[in-house]
Amino acid sequence: MVATELTRNGCRVEVVQGDITQLAVDAIVNAANPWLAGGGGVDGAIHRAGGPTILQECRQIMEQRGGRPLAAGEAVITGGGQLPARYVIHTVGPVYREWTPAEAAERLAACYRNSLALLRQHGLRSIAFPAISTGAYGYPPEEACPIAVRTVLEELERHDACERLIFCTFGARDYELYRQELGRISGAG
Ligand code: ADP
């Protein structure tokens, strides 16, 4: 199910519902944990589908960092292993209850900004995001969605970021949330 929703600064922004591991884009984004250790949710799905090389690269990154966990909002990049995507950008969303709402929003926005910065640094042109933090990390989807959309659109205006950007939602409710949010913005602008 694909709905092309709007174009910003030459980038097509889409909402799809489905499994992010199936998307053939330059990079998919993983909602990782601070130790890049793999886990449940979208993280588990990406490592299962991508095979062991992604986790090996994650371990190397952690070694280079001397074991220092990623802060909420940080992002790193690995290859895509056996995935159709060439790269995986691992970003750590905020655990909602650990922050004030304003701080959580800022950290969540940083996940999207830093992921897009890595995309640019690697000369990549297409990316898919899951709804970061809205699963195990407890961020209310209806609060997270406008932050994700607003941040991404601001970044697309600011930089020649990419040609195709996908919000990959898993559940039907998230799909509608994103469609409505993008629809509201394209209607207004
Ligand atoms: P977090 O720990 O950041 O909350 P989760 O993986 O628990 O991350 O959830 C983030 C979002 O990813 C949730 O909306 C969840 O439904 C969604 N999700 C889970 N599996 C997949 C998948 N295979 N593809 C896309 N989204 C997924």
Ligand 1 pocket residue status of 42, Cβ below 6 Å: yes
Whose Cα sits closest to atom 6 in ligand 1? 41
Task: Write the pLDDT tens digit of every residue in 144-175.
Answer: 999 999 999 999 999 987 999 999 999 999 99
Give the residue among 166, 141, 139 at the shortest CA–CA distance from 152: 166
Separation CA 146–CA 167 (nearest Å): 12
Specify the CATH number of the domain 3-186: 3.40.220.10
Polymer length of the chain: 189
Q: Which residues, listed in sequence order, are joined to residue 4 by a DSSP beta bridge?
A: 14
Which pLDDT score, from 0 to 100, does residue 188 have?
64
Separation CA 149–CA 108 (nearest Å): 11
Ligand 1 pocket residue status of 168, Cβ below 6 Å: yes
How would residue 29 be classed by pLDDT, with cut points 50, 70 and 90? Answer: very high
How would residue 3 be classed by pLDDT, with cut points 50, 70 and 90? Answer: low
The residues annotated with a catalytic role in the active site are 43
Is residue 86 within 8 Å of residue 79, measured between CB atoms?
yes
Q: Which of 166, 170, 177 best tests ligand 1's pocket when mutated (most atoms within 8 Å of CB)?
A: 170
Distance from Cα 55 to the centre of ligand 1, integer Å: 18
- What region does 128 belong to: left with phi over 0, alpha with psi -120 to 50, or beta? beta
Task: Write the pLDDT tens digit of every residue in 128-139.
Answer: 999 999 999 999
Ligand 1 pocket residue status of 61, Cβ below 6 Å: no
Task: Write the pLDDT tens digit of every residue in 8-20.
Answer: 999 999 999 999 9
Separation CA 105–CA 115 (nearest Å): 16
ipTM exceeding 0.95, yes/no = yes
Rounded average pLDDT over 38-52: 97
CB burial class (10 A; 0-12, 13-18, 19+) of residue 40? exposed
Q: What is the pTM of this model?
A: 0.97
Which pLDDT score, from 0 to 100, does residue 147 have?
98
Whose Cα sits closest to atom 7 in ligand 1? 135
